[in-house]
Amino acid sequence: MPKIPFKQRLDFFLFGWIVNWMYPAYYRPKYGYMSYRKLCFHYAIPQFIFRLNPGAKWPVHFTSTVIAPHKISKGILCDPGDNPQIYIQAINGIILGSNVGFGAGVKLLSANHDPNVHSQHINQSPIQIGNDVFIGANSVILPGVQIGNNVIVGAGSVVTKNLPSNVIAVGNPCKVIKEKPPYKESYKTTQFNRKIPHQLEPYLNKSNCNEDCSIP
C-alpha cells in the first residue's frame, strides 16, 4: 500500500468521523477521493443545517435535489446527487448498483404525472441501473428504464428504453452505438472509509461485476 500523505491522514482524523456519522450510506476510498473537510463544509452543512436534502444518507450537492431518498437503494461508490444541478425523483423507487456515476445536470424521473390528474403520479416499475455505469451530463432517465452493467450513457441523452450491459449509448432517444470492453478497475484491495456491508462484498471480490453482482 502506498504511503498516505500526512495531510490526508489528518483530514480523516479531524473530519472523517463526522462524515461517517452523518452519512451512513457513504462508501468511498478512505483516502484520495474527496477531502472530508470539503464534504463537511460543502455538503453536510447545507444538508443538515440548511435542510437541503436532509433525508439522503449520502452527500448531495447543495444545488441538486433528491426527492424520496428513502426509496433509493444503492451500492458502494455511488452517491446520487453529489454533482451540481442533479434532479432525482424516486417516487416509484430507484435501484442503483455499485460504482455508478452521474454527471452534472442528470435527471432521474421514476414517475410521470397522471395526464388526467396532474396532482397524482402513475405507478410504474422502479428505475434500475447496474454496476460500473456512468450517466453523462444533462442526460435524462425516464420511468421504468433498466440499464445493465458496464454502460456509458453519453451527455445529453434521453433514455426512454432499457439498455443492455456492456454498451455505449447516446442520443435522444438514446440508442446503442457500440459495445463497451469489460470494466477494468478493481477495488479488491481498496481501503474504504468504513466497513463494507456483507451484502455488498461480492462487488469487491470480483475482477469485474458485469454479470452477476446483485444489487441489495
113 has catalytic annotation: yes
Give 145: exposed, middle or buried? Use CB within 10 Å, 0-12, 13-18, 19+.
buried
150 in Cβ contact with 210 (< 8 Å): yes
One DSSP character per residue, the chain reads -PPPPHHHHHHIIIIIHHHHHH-TT---BSSSSS-HHHIIIIIIHHHHTS-SSTT-SS---TT-EEE-GGGEE--SS--TT-STT-EEE-TT-EEE-SSEEE-TT-EEE--PBPSS-TTSB---PPEEE-SSEEE-TT-EE-TT-EE-SSEEE-TT-EE-S-B-SSEEEETTTTEEEEE-PPP----TTPPBSSPPPGGGHHHHTSS--SSS----
Closest CA to 134 of 80, 89, 179, 177: 80
pLDDT tens, the chain, 216 aa long: 678 999 999 999 999 999 999 999 999 999 999 999 999 999 999 999 999 999 999 999 999 999 999 999 999 999 999 999 999 999 999 999 999 999 999 999 999 999 999 999 999 999 999 999 999 999 999 999 999 999 999 999 999 999 999 999 999 999 999 999 999 999 999 999 999 999 999 999 875 455 544 444
* Measured CA angle at 211 (ends 210, 216), to 5 deg: 95
Name the catalytic one among 113, 118, 121, 198.
113
Tell me which fold the domain 63-204 belongs to: UDP N-Acetylglucosamine Acyltransferase; domain 1 (2.160.10)
**Is pTM, for the whole model, over 0.75?**
yes
Closest CA to 183 of 168, 170, 169: 168
Separation of alpha carbons 150 and 181, rounded Å? 8
